[in-house]
Structure 1
Amino acid sequence: MGRPRRRCGWSRGFSPQPSGRWGSPQRPEEAGQNSFGQDRGYGRGENGGGRGSCACGDGSHAYQWGNAFNALGLKLHVRVVTVIKSGCSPEVYKITREDLGREYTECPAWRKTALAYIKKLKPDVIVVANRVQYTTVRAGAEDTFKKLKAMGSDLVYLADTPKPTFNIPDCLAENSANPAECTLKSETAVDLPDFRKLEREVAEQYGATVINPLPALCADGYCPAVIGGHVVYWDNSHMSGGYAKSLEPFLEPTFRKVLAG
Structure 2
Amino acid sequence: MVWGRRRIRIALVASAVLGAGALLAVSESTEQRRSSGTTATAPVAATVVAPAPAAVRVAAATPRCFGAASMARKRCHNPALKGRLIPRPSIARRETARYPGKECYQSGVQQIRLNRGCTFGTRAAGRPHVILVGDSHARALMPAFVEMAEAGHISLEAQVRGSCSWTTSRVNHPDKSRIRPCTLYRKNLQRWLLRQARTTDVVVTTGYARQVSGSAKSQVIKMRDLWRPVIKRGVRVIAISDNPRLTREPQKCLVKHGATRGARKCGVSTKAGLHRDPFLLTAKKTRGATALDLRPRFCKKGFCPAVIGGANVYRDHTHITVTYSKTLAPVITGKFRAMRIIR
Structure 1 residues 44, 142: closer, same or farther in 2, change over 3 A?
A: closer
Q: Does 1:245 align with 2:315?
A: no
CA distance in 2, matches of 1:87, 1:44: 30
Choose 160-169 or 172-181, whichever is displaced more. 172-181
Query: What's 1:80 paired with?
Result: 156
CA distance in 1 between counterparts of 2:330 and 2:308 reads: 15
> How far apart are the structure 1 equivalents of 2:179 and 2:134?
15
Quote the residue 1:61 is aligned against.
137
Q: Is the 8 A contact 1:172 1:182 kept in 2?
A: yes
Which residue of 244, 259, 266 maps to 1:182?
266
Is 1:225 matched with 2:332? no
Partner of 1:10: none
Cα shift at 1:158: 0.8
1:125-158 deviations in Å (ceiling 9; x for gaps): 1111222135042321121121221231112111
Paired residues, number: 233
Asked whether 1:113 is paired with 2:188, we answer yes
- Kindly provide the amino acid, as one letter, of the partner of residue 121 in structure 2: Y
- Name structure 1 gaps, 5 residues minimum: 1-17
- Asked if the contact 1:162/1:190 (under 8 Å) is kept, the reply is yes
Give 1:105's aligned amino acid.
R
How far the C-alpha of 1:77 sits from its partner, in A, is 4.1
Residue 97 of structure 1 deviates from its aligned partner by 4.7
Corresponding residue for residue 174 of structure 2? 98
Residues in 2 aligned to 1:69 and 1:225: alpha-carbon distance in whole angstroms? 22
Q: How does 1:20-31 map to 2 (within 5 A)?
A: 24-25=94-95
From 277, 282, 300, give the equivalent of 1:202.
282
**Are 2:203 and 1:126 aligned?**
yes
User: 1:55 touches 1:129 (CA, 8 Å); kept in 2?
Assistant: no
User: For the residues of structure 2 that align with 1:105 and 1:89, how far apart are their CA atoms?
Assistant: 13
Q: Alignment identity in percent?
A: 22
Taking the aligned partners of 2:169 and 2:294, their CA distance within structure 1 comes to 23
Distance, in Å, in 1 between the alignment partners of 2:282 and 2:321 is 28
Contact 2:171/2:179 (<8 A) preserved: yes
Q: For residues 130 and 163 of structure 1, do their structure 2 counterparts lie closer, same or farther at Cα, with a shift above 3 Å needed? A: same
1:64 and 1:240 in contact (8 A); partners too: yes
- 1:83 alignment partner, SS class: strand
- The DSSP-based 3-state class of the residue aligned with 2:170 is coil
Aligned to 1:147: 229
**Deviation of 1:26 (Å):** 5.2
State the match for 1:44 in structure 2. Answer: 123
Q: How far apart are the structure 2 equivalents of 1:215 and 1:254?
A: 13
Moved more, 71-80 or 217-226: 71-80
For structure 2, list consecutive stretches of 5 or more residues without a partner in the other structure: 1-38, 44-91, 99-104
Flag the structure with larger Rg: 2
Structure 1 match to 2:73: none
Which of residues 246, 252, 274 in structure 2 aligns to 1:164? 246
SS at match of 2:146: helix
* Most deviating of 68-77 and 51-60: 51-60
The alpha-carbon distance between structure 1 residues 118 and 134, as it changes in their structure 2 partners (threshold 3 A), is closer
TM-score (norm 2): 0.62
Of residues 240-249 and 250-259 in structure 1, the stretch that sits farther from structure 2 once superposed is 250-259
SS of alignment partner, residue 57 of structure 1: strand
SS of structure 1 residue aligned to 2:160 = coil
Instruction: Name which of structure 1's ranges 57-66 and 230-239 shifts more when overlaid on structure 2.
Output: 57-66
Q: CA deviation at 1:78?
A: 2.0
In structure 2, C-alpha distance between the alignment counterparts of 1:96 and 1:104, rounded to whole Å:
9
Give the AA of the match of 1:135: S
